[in-house]
Amino acid sequence: MLDSHKYVIFTDSTSDLSQDIIDKYSINVIPIELSIDGKAFIKDYEISPKDFYNKIREGNMPKTTCINSSTYMENFEPILKTGKDILYIAFSGSLSSIYSIASQTATALNKIYPNNKVIVVDSCAASMGQGVLVYHAAKMKAEGKTLEEVVSWLEESKNHMNTWFTVNDLFHLKRGGRISATTAILGEMLNVKPIMNINLSGELILISKIRGRRAAILELLNKIENLWMAEKNPFICIAHADALEDASFLADKIKEKLGVKDVFINYITPVIGAHTGCGTVGVFFFGQKK
């Protein structure tokens, strides 16, 4: 078997990975600072998702701070000094400067440590879409795949990682500058729920507007039915922003319609939730196209 310990996998806290997966595969997660209600939290678990979303409901607007180059240096250099390479799977470069800053840092470190490699992959994804890619990369590493093999798989597979979601709180999108106040007011009056996805370039795109929350949830099911690749999907993931009832309803429908045995439900953790607001429900799966 190949030596699978010559490189270390990193990601950031936008990947919404469970702690069990992080621990099982020794994934290094670089935290993104979050602040809400006058308090700063360096790591997601310093505030529970339930408490976080309750603070949003109380009218608090959270903020996140991008990872800077010095933080990457602090995390990467100790690994490079041991002679190991680094694979960093980053949050979508179209949604944040994280990928750009990480790439610039990698370029600098590759010059300082010419016998080692720091490879940064733009996941073109977010939340559990990014997390699923990280999970598979870590699993491949544990199975003995080389750094180059894992990177090649990531570059191909990220083009099939589907992220579809609907939001419930249009006013949160308005406060975050994603939509206008007029659009938010009219949307609430008409009970309109947007269906959004992340495209091939990792950009957030509004696809359609659906009347009614339950209809929007069922539209997510339609997207899975139309795009799902059974041979690439041992499981499907659902993430929610304190909307467990809707997430469970969707999970039951997926199992009933598609016969998928494993549908994993997880919270959208606070760093991503800071941008989606309460009530968001998203699905993540490998599809024929993105």
Average pLDDT over residues 7-23: 95
Angle at 249 between CA 45 and CA 276, to 5 degrees: 45
- Among 159, 176, 197, where does a domain finish? 159
β-strands 192-198, 161-166 pairing: antiparallel
What phi and psi, each to the nearest 5 degrees, are found at residue 165? -155, 160
Tens of pLDDT, residues 127-182: 999 999 999 999 999 999 999 999 999 999 999 999 999 988 766 666 655 556 65
Sign (positive/negative) of CA torsion 47, 53, 57, 61?
positive
Element (H, E) at 138: helix 127-142
Range of the domain at 198: 160-286
Same domain, 132 and 171: no
C-alpha closest to that of 32 among 78, 67, 73: 67
- Final residue before a domain boundary, out of 118, 144, 159: 159
CA dist 49 to 58, 240, 280, Å? 14, 10, 13
DSSP annotation of 40: E
Q: Which of 159, 177, 198 is the last residue of a domain?
A: 159
Out of 114-123, 226-235, 271-280, pick the least confident: 226-235
pLDDT category at 1 given cuts 50, 70, 90 is very low
Is residue 231 very low, low, confident or very high in pLDDT (cuts 50, 70, 90)? confident
